[in-house]
Amino acid sequence: MIKNFCRENQLLSRVYLPARELAWRLWSACRGRQIWKAHGCPDRFIHFFGGGIGDDLMCSVLCRELKRRGAKRVIMISRRRELFVDNPDVDEVIAPDEQMLACLSHLPGKLTVPVYHKKGHNDGAYDTPEEHILVLMCRIAGISGEVELRPVFHLSEDEKNSGIHAPLQIAVQSEGTNFPTKNWYPARFQEVIDAFRKEVTFVQIGGKDDHLLHGVIDQRGNSFRETASILHNSHLFLGLVGFFMHLARSVECPSAIIYGGREAPWQGGYSCNENIVNAPHCSPCWHAHRCDYDMQCMDQIKIPQVIAAVQKLLDRPRDHLPVDKVTI
C-alpha cells in the first residue's frame, strides 16, 4: 500500500523510485562482492547468456587468453560442466543463477557475457557479425593482442583410447542443429557415405533423435566426452555448422563442413577445414528458421562437392591442425 502510494504521488515518486533503484544497486553490489569472495576472488566470471553448447565451448578461448594475460583465477558459469573437465584455464565451473548473475553484473569488470549478436529479431534472424565471432567475444572480454581462434577440450588418456571403432573412421552427423537453416539433407549424407563405405567406417554422432543413416556405427546420443573421444580418433568429421564443428576443432579433428549460405566460414569457422559454401545474393543472412528463397543455398550444394571435400581430407595426413591467429 505504501509502495503504491509513493508511486502514484508525483512528488514522492521523484524521490521514491530513484532511491529504490539506488538501494537495489547497492544491495546487488554487496551481494555480488559476497559471491565473488566466496569463489576465491576470481579475476573473471564468464557466462554466455542463453547460448548453445558450442557457445559455451568457444568460451574456452576466452579462458585461455585471459590466463595467458595473467589472470590467476577464471570461473566459467555454465550448466555444461563436462566441457571443461581437466581444463587448466578454468578454475571452477558453477551453474548459472539469475539472481547471482544480476549481482555479479554490478561488480565492474568481473562478469563477462560474450554474446556476439548485437540484436535478435522477431523472425529468428540475428545481426550479421562483421568479424569472426571469437574475435568479437574476445573484444567483449577486453582481450587485446594476438589470440588463437581455437577452442580446447581436454581428454584423459583412457578417454582418448575409448573412441576407436575402426582403423580408419569418419565421424558423421546427419542433422540435428537447432536452426533448420543450417541443415543439409540426410539422404545426401547417405549418398556420400555410400561412396566411401568400402574403404572407410562411418561413426554417426549427434542427438539420439537425429535421422539414422545406413551402414554406420550408431553412436548418437552419446555424452559430450564420449563424442569428443570419437572425434579425437576419427580421420575427419563430416557435418554441419554448430557444436560438433567446434568440438572437432578442439580435439584436432579436421572437418568437412557444409555451410550453405546462412553464415560464412570467416564469421565462425576454421581455415584448417574443408568449408563447403554457397553464397547467393542473400548470404550471409543469419536467419535461424525462416528462408525466403527455399533454402537454395543448401539445395545447390551437390553430393560430388561434398565427396571431393571428404576425399581431400582423406588424402591429407592426420596431424596437428594449423591455428588461425588474429591480432585484436
Sequence-distant (6+) residues with CB within 8 A of 205 are 171, 172, 173, 219, 220, 222, 227, 230, 231, 244
* Greatest CA separation for the chain: 82
Domain, as residue range, for 81: 44-148
**127: pLDDT confidence band, cut at 50, 70 and 90?**
confident
- pLDDT (mean) for 285-294: 88
Q: Lowest mean pLDDT: which of 137-146, 149-158, 175-184?
A: 175-184
Q: Quick one: cell of 85? A: 573437465
Strand partners, 326: 147
CA Rg, the chain, in Å? 23
Give pLDDT, residue 126: 77
* Residue whose C-alpha cell is 523472425: 123
Assess whether 314 and 198 both reside in one domain.
yes
Assess if residue 15 is contained within a domain: no
Cα–Cα dist 287/298, whole Å: 13
Q: Lowest mean pLDDT: which of 81-85, 177-181, 254-258, 282-286?
A: 177-181
Specify the amino acid at residue 13: S
* Structural domains counted in the chain: 2
| Percent composition of the chain: helix, strand, coil (DSSP 3-state, to 5) | 40, 15, 45
Assess whether 169 and 317 both reside in one domain.
yes
Cα–Cα dist 328/319, whole Å: 28
Per-residue pLDDT tens over the stretch 189-248 = 999 999 999 999 999 999 999 999 999 999 999 999 999 999 999 999 999 999 999 999
What global pTM score does this model have?
A: 0.91
Would you call 327 helix, strand, or coil by DSSP? strand
- pLDDT (mean) for 66-80: 97
What is the rounded end-to-end Cα distance, in angstroms, of the chain?
Answer: 54
Assess whether 187 and 276 both reside in one domain.
yes
* Residue whose C-alpha cell is 579433428: 253
Would you call 236 helix, strand, or coil by DSSP? strand
Question: What's 263's domain CATH number?
Answer: 3.40.50.2000
CA distances from 29 to 24, 75, 94, 100 (A): 9, 18, 19, 11
If you ran DSSP here, which 8-state letter would residue 22 be given? Answer: H
Nearest 5 degrees, angle CA 80-CA 141-CA 45? 45
**13: pLDDT confidence band, cut at 50, 70 and 90?**
low
Assess if residue 95 is contained within a domain: yes
Q: Quick one: cell of 273? A: 577445414
Assess if residue 223 is contained within a domain: yes
Residue 5 clears pLDDT 60, i.e. is over it: no
Residue 2 clears pLDDT 80, i.e. is over it: no
Cα–Cα dist 252/46, whole Å: 24
Cα–Cα dist 113/139, whole Å: 11
Cα–Cα dist 131/134, whole Å: 8
Please give the residue that has the higher pLDDT: either 238 or 107: 238
Contact indicator for 259, 269 with CB cutoff of 8 Å: yes
If you ran DSSP here, which 8-state letter would residue 320 be given? Answer: P
- The residue among 148, 175, 204 that closes a domain is 148
Assess if residue 39 is contained within a domain: no
Average pLDDT score, the chain? 91
Contact indicator for 143, 69 with CB cutoff of 8 Å: yes
Assess whether 112 and 167 both reside in one domain.
no
